[in-house]
Amino acid sequence: MLADRTCTPLSVKTDRAVAVCLDYLRYAGIDWTPHPTEEETRREYEYIWKTLGNRTIEALIDLPLMNDPASLATMDVLTKPLAAGWYTDVSLACMTICRAVSLSLERGNCDASCFAYSNFQQNDPTAFSATTRPDIASGSSDMNLSRGAG
Using CA atoms, how far apart are residues 62 and 91, in angstroms rounded to an integer?
30
Among 85, 117, 83, 70, smallest CA distance to 98 is for 117
- Calculate ∠ Cα 24-28-29, nearest 5°: 120
Using CA atoms, how far apart are residues 47 and 99, in angstroms rounded to an integer?
9
For 48-79, write each residue's pLDDT tens digit.
Answer: 999 998 988 889 899 999 999 999 999 999 98
81 touches 26 (CB < 8 A):
no
Please provide the average confidence, as pLDDT, over all residues in the chain.
77
- Domain spans of the chain, in order of start: 2-147
Q: What is the pTM of this model?
A: 0.75
3-state SS, residue 36: coil
Better-predicted residue by pLDDT, 84 or 105: 105
Q: What is the pLDDT of residue 130?
A: 39
- Calculate ∠ Cα 54-49-75, nearest 5°: 115
Q: What is the pLDDT of residue 5?
A: 46
What's the rounded mean pLDDT across residues 105-111? 96
